[in-house]
């Protein structure tokens, strides 16, 4: 038997509970992982609360991230005892995820845990840090350097935003952080932000083109915020878009693209090829100041993850929530 958060829906009633399951109930897969740590992401909050229909079938164990040790494997890449990470691939939505003490998954979804990280550190980083690194890699691939100018990070207090600031600052970039919580300015500055702006500057309908302010941006908010970010990017600048906390819409015009030649780079963190995932995690293990994880991270037990899901969706959580599934 093992403990897990199970989401179910019966007679129109949506429920999420901490229960015990039997190994025989695990879904199909060629690798069984004894999970050490998972995380609580925005999508997990939606799955646990039912605020948005992200769960594709019931019952479901949420948790889009996991780190642990292979218990058994029929996959050629892994053997019992290997330390592994999983991000994305629909786990927690269409396939049982990481908010449990065990998971059975497709081995193609896994990557080896970098030697420089332990399981807790990997989940402190999680999909949020991994996505932030994919954004940085995309910007660099398109020519961004610290000499290019200031880089804007929206949703700065969230997981992706926090890691984006830390990673950019660690590489020598000057970072502007947009936040709806100005009382958290000290936290953002400790991560490396040099300028703090109120998200209200970007979150309402704006002008087709604004003042040229930033060389690039990492946006996890979408909607009017992303439109205003694009309107404020300098000529030939770059925007990496990876989230939709404000909304999925993009109420913009083509003006920034055809008059200033900016580029909008879409970041899909869910189904990246194996080599890209390994490269991103190797960069994280070497480029990230691991001492900052304590600043970014809060650890909770599996049972504590349930009530925190609402706080996460309400914007009351700073940084990352790491879930120790074994307590």
Question: What pLDDT score was predicted for residue 313?
Answer: 86
What's the rounded Cα separation, in Å, for the pair 33 and 61? 14
Question: What pLDDT score was predicted for residue 268?
Answer: 96
pLDDT (tens digit per residue) in 299-322: 999 999 999 999 988 888 888 899
Q: Is the pLDDT at 75 greater than 90, yes or no?
A: yes
Question: What pLDDT score was predicted for residue 195?
Answer: 97
Domain 2-113+293-324 listed as CATH 1.25.40.20: no
State whether the Cα torsion 139-143-145-147 is positive or negative: negative
Mean pLDDT calculated for residue range 258-267: 98
pLDDT (tens digit per residue) in 165-193: 999 999 999 999 999 988 889 999 999 99
Q: Is the pLDDT at 224 greater than 90, yes or no?
A: yes
Closest C-alpha among 283, 327, 285 to residue 302? 327
Q: Which stretch of 52-61, 97-106, 230-239, 248-257 has the lowest confidence by average pLDDT?
A: 52-61
Pair of tokens at residue 179: 């936040």
What does the domain layout of the chain look like in residue ranges? 2-113+293-324, 125-266
Question: What pLDDT score was predicted for residue 129?
Answer: 96
Alpha helices for the chain (secondary structure H): 42-49, 119-141, 159-170, 185-191, 200-203, 223-231, 255-259, 274-287, 293-296, 305-313
Task: Identify whether the C-beta of residue 61 lies closer than 8 Å to the C-beta of residue 44.
Answer: no
Return the H-helix or E-strand segment holding 80. none
Residue-wise burial string across 229-250, b where 16 or more C-beta atoms lie within 10 A, e elsewhere:
bbbbbbeebbbbbbbbbbeeee
Closest C-alpha among 159, 16, 43 to residue 100? 16
Closest C-alpha among 41, 7, 38 to residue 21? 7
pLDDT (tens digit per residue) in 30-49: 999 999 999 999 899 999 99
Pair of tokens at residue 291: 């001492």
Mean pLDDT calculated for residue range 24-28: 96
Q: Are strands 214-219 and 13-21 parallel, antiparallel or unpaired?
A: unpaired
CA distance to 32, 113, 146, 195, 222, per residue, from 123 (Å): 18, 11, 28, 28, 25
Closest C-alpha among 86, 107, 108 to residue 97? 86
Question: What pLDDT score was predicted for residue 294?
Answer: 87
The pTM assigned to this predicted structure is: 0.94
* SS3 annotation, 104-170: EECHHHEEECCCCCCHHHHHHHHHHHHHHHHHHHHHHHCCCCHHHCCEEECCCCCHHHHHHHHHHHH
Question: What pLDDT score was predicted for residue 12?
Answer: 80
Q: Which residue spans within 206-256 are E strands per DSSP? A: 214-219, 233-241
The values of phi and psi at residue 274, to 5°, are -50, -45
Q: 125-266 maps to which CATH number?
A: 3.40.50.720
What radius of gyration do the chain's Cα atoms show? 20
What's the rounded Cα separation, in Å, for the pair 74 and 58? 26
């Amino acid at each position: 038997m093992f403990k897990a958060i199970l989401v179910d829906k019966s007679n129109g009633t949506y429920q999420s509970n901490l229960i015990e399951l039997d190994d025989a109930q695990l879904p199909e897969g060629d690798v069984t992982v004894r999970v050490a740590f998972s995380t609580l992401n925005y999508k997990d909050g939606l799955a646990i609360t039912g605020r948005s229909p992200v769960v594709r079938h019931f019952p479901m164990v949420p948790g889009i991230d996991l780190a642990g040790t292979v218990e058994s494997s029929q996959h050629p890449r892994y053997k019992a005892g290997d330390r592994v990470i999983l991000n994305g691939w629909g786990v927690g939505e269409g396939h049982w995820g990481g908010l449990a003490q065990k998971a059975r998954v497709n081995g193609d979804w896994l990557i080896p845990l970098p030697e420089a990280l332990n399981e807790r550190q990997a989940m402190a980083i999680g999909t949020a840090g991994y996505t932030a690194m994919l954004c940085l890699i995309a910007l660099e691939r398109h020519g961004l350097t610290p000499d290019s100018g200031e880089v804007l990070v929206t949703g700065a207090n969230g997981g992706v935003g926090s890691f984006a600031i830390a990673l950019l600052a660690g590489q020598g970039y000057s970072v502007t952080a947009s936040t709806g919580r100005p009382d958290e300015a000290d936290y953002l500055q400790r991560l490396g932000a040099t300028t703090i702006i109120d998200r209200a500057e970007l979150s309402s309908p704006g002008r087709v083109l604004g003042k040229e302010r930033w060389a690039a941006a990492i946006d996890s908010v979408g909607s009017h915020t992303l439109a205003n970010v694009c309107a404020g990017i300098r000529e030939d600048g770059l925007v990496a878009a990876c989230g939709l906390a404000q909304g999925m819409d993009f109420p913009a015009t083509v003006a920034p693209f055809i008059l200033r030649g900016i580029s909008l780079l879409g970041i899909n963190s869910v189904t990246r090829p194996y080599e890209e995932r390994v490269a991103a995690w190797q960069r994280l293990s070497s480029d990230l100041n691991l001492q900052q994880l304590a600043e970014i991270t809060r650890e909770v037990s599996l049972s504590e993850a349930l009530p925190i899901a609402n706080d996460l969706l309400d914007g009351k959580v700073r940084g990352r929530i790491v879930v120790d599934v074994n307590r």
